[in-house]
Structure 1
Amino acid sequence: MKLDQRDIAILRVLAREGRISKSDLAQRVNLSPTPTWERLRRLEEAGVIRGYHADIDMKMLVPGVEVFVTVELERHKAADFAAFEKLAEGREEIAACWALGGGFDYLMLVAVRDIDAYQRFMDGLLEAGIGLARYYTYVVTKQVKSHVARLPDPDPA
């Protein structure tokens, strides 16, 4: 899908302010409401906009710990990757998971109540029979920056 400067402007605003009204969005991107709504609908239907989400500070709700975990699988067959990814999708503790190229197979963000819950979770993964060879744990000590989508500049051509 080819995006122009207006599409990118819409996406930049939405990445920071997902709850902005459509009329305010139109004003922010310097476009009348109807064309803005049409572009927004097109971006949603094309799957460029996958959804709208609240950025919830979980520490305000429950005490907890976030842990980044790098994962290596024993085997590198498509079925092994599929089994791991299916398990990852079904576990609430895994807040996010990325497949990587390079030294590790996956990077997971695990969110649990405490470090003991994290170790029980990882012990369960080791016993799940999904071919987990090894993992490395990196405990988050503080958040420096929250994720906001970075959008490229549109192609000038």
Structure 2
Amino acid sequence: MFKVDKTDIAILEAMQRDGRLTRVKLSEVVGLSPTPCHERLKRLEKQRLIQSYHAKVDVSQLAKVTLVYVTVTLGSHRAADFTIFERNIKRYPEVLECNALGGGIDYILKVVAHSIEDYQAFMEGLLESNIGIHEYYSHFVTKPVKEYSGYPLTEIVTL
């Protein structure tokens, strides 16, 4: 783990909120002059604490989509089975996220599809791909309430 201070945390939080901040605006937000602020930002990027910059696209203005959280249990629990599943699941662009879990369910996936019918066809294809899925449960998003907007760094990082 990297050693950071309150100013680094402030930079990281500001960049999570708006990755397009100019050097001058960022320096104003965190209370540093532009040059030292920019040097800190470059160090945070070099250390890979800032891994990338993205645009958040409002897909609802482009297409009607269905979001589904899918809990997955594998049929076998050898290390090779997890490796096969993980290597293969990354190949599907419809799978927006995949996280391994403990406590009875092996994985949770966040899947996007045009419709419930398209989602079901996707899952049938996934089952036919023979990547080890024994059981799955679908949980359809009826209304997004709060989306990920960055980690609450000042709450979780102890200095």
Q: Mark yes or no: TM-score above 0.5.
A: yes
Task: Provide the aligned C-alpha RMSD in A.
Answer: 1.2
Aligned residues: 156
Aligned residue for 1:129, secondary structure, equals coil
Residue 51, structure 1, aligned to residue 52, structure 2? yes
Give 1:151 deviation, angstroms: 3.1
Separation of aligned partners in 2, 1:60 and 1:84? 33
Kept in 1, the 8 Å contact 2:72–2:108? The answer is: yes
Query: Alignment identity in percent?
Result: 44
Unpaired runs of 5+ residues, structure 1, are none
Q: How is 1:90-101 mapped onto 2 (pairs within 5 angstroms)?
A: 90-101=91-102
Give 1:106 deviation, angstroms: 0.8
Residue 65, structure 1, aligned to residue 66, structure 2? yes
Kept in 1, the 8 Å contact 2:13–2:153? The answer is: no
Separation of aligned partners in 1, 2:100 and 2:17? 25
Separation of aligned partners in 2, 1:48 and 1:77? 33
Q: Could you tell me the TM-score, scaled by structure 2's length?
A: 0.93
Q: Could you tell me the TM-score, scaled by structure 1's length?
A: 0.94
Which deviates further from its counterpart, 144-153 or 119-128? 144-153
Kept in 2, the 8 Å contact 1:67–1:137? The answer is: yes
Kept in 2, the 8 Å contact 1:8–1:151? The answer is: no
Separation of aligned partners in 2, 1:121 and 1:8? 41
Separation of aligned partners in 2, 1:83 and 1:98? 15
Q: How is 1:1-157 mapped onto 2 (pairs within 5 angstroms)?
A: 1-153=2-154, 154-156=157-159
Q: Give, as a single letter, the amino acid of the residue that structure 2 aligns with 1:5.
A: K
Give 1:102 deviation, angstroms: 1.4
